[in-house]
């Protein structure tokens, strides 16, 4: 049986910590958006696009903690296995990539609602 070897680099651990500590605090505020979660059906056919937008926002809000944890543990795992630094840094950006569509949808929704 082979022994596990820790091939991690300390500076990448610092990079991951600098990204994920503020993200953890942000996620607490993100979960306050659970009031936005709405899976109600439209009453008319013209409300269908807005309903799809609400469904998308709701699913994104509900799945964000999973993206957060996946990105954190995947980046730490890659660092421990000694993967190239650029792959570890890219894996650590997973939560940012998963949150970007939600931010765009909110901006698009506010533009079309006239607010």
Question: DSSP states of 53-107 as a string?
Answer: HHHHHHHHHHHHHHHHHHHHHHHHHHHHHT--HHHHHHHTTHHHHHHHHHHHHHH
Q: Is the pTM of this model over 0.95?
A: no
Instruction: Report domain extents, the chain.
Output: 10-113
Taking only the tens place, the pLDDT of each residue in 40-52 is 888 888 888 888 8
Taking only the tens place, the pLDDT of each residue in 41-97 is 888 888 888 888 788 777 877 887 888 888 889 988 888 888 898 888 888 888 777
CA–CA distance, 65 with 55 (Å, rounded to integer)? 17
CA–CA distance, 83 with 78 (Å, rounded to integer)? 5
């Amino acid at each position: 049986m082979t022994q596990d070897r820790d091939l991690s680099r300390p500076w990448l651990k610092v990079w991951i910590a600098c990204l994920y500590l503020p993200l953890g605090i942000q996620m607490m505020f993100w979960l306050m958006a659970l009031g936005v979660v709405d899976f109600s059906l439209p009453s008319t056919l013209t409300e269908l696009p807005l309903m799809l937008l609400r469904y998308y926002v709701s699913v994104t809000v509900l799945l964000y903690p999973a993206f957060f944890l996946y990105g954190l543990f995947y980046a730490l795992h890659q660092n421990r296995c000694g993967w190239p630094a650029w792959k570890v840094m890219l894996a650590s950006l997973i939560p940012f990539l998963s949150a970007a569509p939600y931010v765009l949808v909110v901006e698009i929704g506010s533009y079309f609602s006239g607010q």
